[in-house]
């Protein structure tokens, strides 16, 4: 395995699978199997989960809800997703801990960096819910920050497309996929990989990002083996 400790970022939307709102149980099951396959090979897995399938802070303003309030609502949405993912992983036979950026003692542990690392060393899958616990951030930024904190080898950003393209492949048929790219290049070409906060955190801390299609069976494993199933930014 090319990477020993990974931070996997899953968007909330990815959990929607074939349903129009909320969480698709089939998708959850599929993810649990993919994660189990790499776990069984000894990879330490931490996961940051988004909340976009349930709520986003930017949505709030349109609904007349103050931005900060909306952001907290979005963070709570990520905890719901985290709990669902935790159950799916446990059903598939893995040990897990859900750690939250907002204290919620009845349902999850608070995020404590040293404890998170200890869980990983013991072979537990750690899910980070509630983002970093602050408004005006995203779960992509959370992924970068937590990855640095737990000294992950790489951030794996699971998306619907299989990597970073020269242009939007859904609009431009001539677009081609990069297999590898430097941070500088990605920045200069204005390629939308993560929001700037998340991107900069990775760049400044020399933390590579791999963008890949999490929905294709076996892809997560390929990425971990160092095969070019996505785009590596380093
Ligand atoms: N959020 C936040 N701070 C964080 C992480 C998330 O305020 O540290 C809020 C923000 O409103 C965001 C929402 O939670 O819109 C859901 O997260 P995100 O949009 O990143 O989820 P994804 O797009 O990955 O599903």
pLDDT digits (tens, 9 = 90+) for 40-71: 999 999 999 999 999 988 888 888 999 999 99
pLDDT digits (tens, 9 = 90+) for 176-191: 999 999 999 999 999 9
Distance of alpha carbon 76 from alpha carbon 6, whole angstroms: 24
Is residue 228 predicted with pLDDT exceeding 80?
Answer: no
Q: Is the CB of 128 under 6 A from ligand 1?
A: no
| 74: confidence class by pLDDT, cuts 50, 70, 90 | very high
Q: Is the CB of 159 under 6 A from ligand 1?
A: no
Burial of 87 (0-12, 13-18, 19+ CB in 10 A): middle
Domain that holds residue 128: 5-233
Q: How far is the CA of 197 from the centre of ligand 1 (A)?
A: 13
Number of domains, the chain: 1
Q: How far is the CA of 117 from the centre of ligand 1 (A)?
A: 23
CB 179 within 8 Å of CB 163: yes
**CATH code for the domain of 33:** 3.40.1160.10
Is residue 93 predicted with pLDDT exceeding 90?
Answer: yes
Q: How far is the CA of 12 from the centre of ligand 1 (A)?
A: 9
The protein residue with its alpha carbon nearest to ligand 1, atom 23, reads 52
Q: Is the CB of 11 under 6 A from ligand 1?
A: yes
Mean pLDDT computed over 79-86 = 98
């Amino acid at each position: 395995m090319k990477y020993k400790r990974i931070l996997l970022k899953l968007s909330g939307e990815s959990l929607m699978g074939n349903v129009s709102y909320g969480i698709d149980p089939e998708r959850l099951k599929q993810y649990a199997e993919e994660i189990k396959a790499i776990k069984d090979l000894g990879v330490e897995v931490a996961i940051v989960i988004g909340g976009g399938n349930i709520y986003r802070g930017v949505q709030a303003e349109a609904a007349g809800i103050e931005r900060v309030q909306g952001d907290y609502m979005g963070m709570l949405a990520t905890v719901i997703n985290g709990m669902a993912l935790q159950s799916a992983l446990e059903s598939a036979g893995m040990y897990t801990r859900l750690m939250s950026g907002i204290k919620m003692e009845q349902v999850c542990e608070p995020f404590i960096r040293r404890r998170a690392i200890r869980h990983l060393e013991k072979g537990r899958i750690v899910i980070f819910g509630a983002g970093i616990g602050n408004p005006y951030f995203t779960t992509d930024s959370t992924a970068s920050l937590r990855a640095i904190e737990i000294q992950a080898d790489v951030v794996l950003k699971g998306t619907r497309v299989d990597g970073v393209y020269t242009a939007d492949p859904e609009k431009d048929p001539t677009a081609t996929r990069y297999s590898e790219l430097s941070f500088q290049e990605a920045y200069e070409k204005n390629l939308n990989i993560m929001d700037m906060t998340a991107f900069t955190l990775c760049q400044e801390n020399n933390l590579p990002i791999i963008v890949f299609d999490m929905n294709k069976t076996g892809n997560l494993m390929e990425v971990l083996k160092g095969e070019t199933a996505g785009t590596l930014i380093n």
